Structure 1
Amino acid sequence: MSGVLLTFDVGVDERHTVQFSFNKFWGGLSITVDGYDVVDTVRLASVELVKRYNFVVGVREQHYVTIEHHRKLMFAGFRPQPVLAYVDGVLVAQGVA
């Protein structure tokens, strides 16, 4: 697979698992929390160089999650695409598609 898979945990007392996956070849992008879809889409073309996905994880213990998917302006499918994951503004995971 030409893509990236990030998995990270969120929370202290109320634990959740967030998973981000992106396939550069097919454009499939998904974000799940504890196996439930938050985002499930196909991303083949975009004018944005940085796409941000923001969502809240938790009920009693809430945390703000931001996942940034960066791409280059030209030939993005053939170049590295960094993915950065933040929980409450702190970088917790990163990868490259």
Structure 2
Amino acid sequence: MQMSFDVGAEERHTVVFSFDKFWGGLSITVDGHDVVRTVRIASVRTVQRYNFVVGVQEQHYVTIEHHRKVLFAGLRDQPVHAYVDGVLVARGVA
């Protein structure tokens, strides 16, 4: 699953969220640079939040929420929501 969205008006940045449900690889990049790179195979949390700031002169707060079910998470849909400054800008399903 891959989802991308743009952040900023004057200072544009592209955020890309990638998740491989089979192997558990998860990455978040901003303009091609890694912000998060991890493997998520097992977790106690049903919602994992990733928070970071994008931009230098024009800063925006980005939150990406990755939801999963408690049982058989790898076999079920895993919604992903992306927020910029608290506003939903993208959603997808892994």
TM-score above 0.5, yes or no? yes
Q: Percent identity?
A: 78
Unaligned 5+ segments in structure 2 are none
Superposition pairs for residues 1-97 of structure 1, below 5 Å? 4-97=1-94
Unaligned 5+ segments in structure 1 are none
Q: What CA RMSD, in Å, does the superposition of the two structures yield over aligned residues? A: 0.3
Shift of 1:10: 0.1
Q: TM-score, normalised by structure 1?
A: 0.96
Shift of 1:94: 0.4
Runs of 4+ in 1 over 2 A off after TM superposition: none
What amino acid is aligned across from residue 10 of structure 1 in structure 2? V
Equivalent residue of 1:77, what SS? helix
Alignment length (residue pairs): 94
